[in-house]
Amino acid sequence: MIQASGVRIGWSDLPATVHDAVAGILGGAVVEARSQAGGFSPGTADRVVTAGGRRAFVKAVGAPVDPFCLALHRREAAVAAQLPASAPVPRLLGVHDDGDWIALVLEDVDGRHPRTPWVAEELDAVVRALAELGRVAAPGLRPAAEVCGHDLQGWARWAADPPADADPWVTAHLPELLAAAERAAAAVEGDALVHADVRADNLLIRADGSVVVVDWPHACRGAAWLDRAMLTVNVLLYGGEPAPVDAPPGAVTDLLAGYLGFFTEMGRRPDPPTLPTLRAFQRAQAAALRPWVAERLTPRAGRGGR
């Protein structure tokens, strides 16, 4: 199974100025750093411990590594500063940004990623955490229509330049797929806090079963059901029974039909040099999602939010 992964630098690859800045935030020099797997950033993702025993999670990247990821880290820093303490998210302890390098210093959450294939009790816990997020207002964040807009144009880009070996099912159903994506772009509007990138590697489960949602560069304000709908993709990818989503009739099908276009269209592009598994991961998501969308694309009675 394709996993979300990049080619990471490590703590020792960071400039001394970043080490010093992190030490200043934490009140002591880092004496231990353990790199964490998962995610696509080529920057660091380290659980660190200071000489005084303080623990934290540090994610850092620089322009020499990947300018795009540098911008994402800046966006996440701005979002993290706005997240309420009551939400199931890591606390932001501090940020260092010298123009070339940025480091986010966050609470070290003592937890693990959900098991895959997904198991029912962990999926239920994640759904509850996402429902809790859906009750948090996010007035200062970008609207979901802006954040998700490019993604939901995937079928339009595909239609403008269809491949020679196009999937016959896609060709036959392209008008319905385009219409579904257009409806989804309107349906995602709302005022709730939305993570917009819910995957197993962006979730941590504590020993008490509670869930913390991590990695927030794509956060936005949108429909309260949006994250729970997007979780369906990850459950289909890794195995499990997707949870029902309380959403307007047809909205979840429209959204995931739109994202099928994003994964399909992006999956045919070359891999970015620092993210060698990204396209394969997108193709795997498209393959997992396509049968689900194909079954539900034509509206059927009794499916509610599906």
d(CA 143, CA 52): 42
- State if pTM tops 0.85: yes
d(CA 42, CA 66): 7
SS3 assignment, position 130: helix
Task: Divide the 306 residues of the chain into consecutive groups of 10 and give the mean pLDDT of each group.
Answer: 68 98 98 88 94 98 94 97 93 98 98 97 98 94 96 98 95 97 97 97 97 97 98 98 96 98 97 89 97 84 44
Q: Which of 261, 236, 295 is nearest to 148 (CA)?
A: 261
d(CA 217, CA 213): 12
* Spatial contact of 43 and 65, defined as CB atoms under 8 Å apart: yes
What was the pLDDT predicted at 298? 73
**Which H, E and C letters describe 266-300, residue by residue?**
HCCCCCCCCCCCHHHHHHHHHHHHHHHHHHHCCCC
SS3 assignment, position 153: helix
- Cis peptide bond upstream of 117, omega within 30: yes
All structural domains of the chain, each given as residue ranges with its CATH number in brackets, are 11-108 (3.30.200.20), 112-296 (3.90.1200.10)
d(CA 6, CA 169): 32
